[in-house]
Structure 1
Amino acid sequence: MSAEVRMEPGRIARFLRLRGGRVERKLRERTARVARIAEQEAPGSMGRYISWDVQQGPRGLEGVVRCDHPAVLYVLHGTRPHLIRPRRRNGVLRFEVGGEVVFTRLVRHPGTRANNFLGRALRMGR
């Protein structure tokens, strides 16, 4: 008596990439964990703009964590020192410093250091 087992790598790979399968469930867990860490690591209110999903990519399923905050690129990459002027020609800028309201026509912003909170969340969520 003999038994024969044939393993077809292509079929196994397709089986593992099926929607609703074990691999997708683990990928969903890990992606959700990275998104939760990113929400905690994000500065200010930026964490409220973080969402995640598992999508079909060119090489199978992939977990995607995104931040849709309008200033996310400035936070991730930082900024050099720059001038801030009002949008209107004769307008003024209004902001608070130490609880006091300030009006001015020009601000010399010192720039910001890069804060790659998404990359940090990915490393921490492994």
Structure 2
Amino acid sequence: MFKKIVFGLICFFTFLVAVLAVHIYMVTKPKAGAISSLTLSRIDFPERFDSLQGVAIKEHIAKMEGVKDVRVNFSNSHIICLYDRKEFSGSDLVDRINFHFSESAQLFQPSEEMLAQSCPAIDKNSITYKLGAFFQKSFEN
């Protein structure tokens, strides 16, 4: 009786690991038509801009070819931009903003410490993270 329970639990956990592996594969495989060269950049402004100026900058950036989304943070005076890096680089984007609006905007560059803490929401010591990372690396091309 005890051997059947242990065998059943082993089979059950093996099944769960297999389901997790299939799920990770289905979620991480490239989708047809997906743009793999999208980049998210933060552009900082030294001085606060008012809402009219922020909206004007947002509309100007949004009209650029290759830009997918633009978000403005008025309280911190920065813009988050999602764009195709094959069209232009982040520094090109900043140069265009500075030229068109006579601003002194700068591309945000995270410090080494910020890069080391890449995602504070994920506990990299957890078994879930380690198992997920193992399967994700297994299915990468």
Choose between structure 1 and 2: higher strand proportion: 1
Q: TM-score, normalised by structure 1?
A: 0.25
Choose between structure 1 and 2: higher helix proportion: 2
Tell which structure's C-alpha radius of gyration is larger: 1
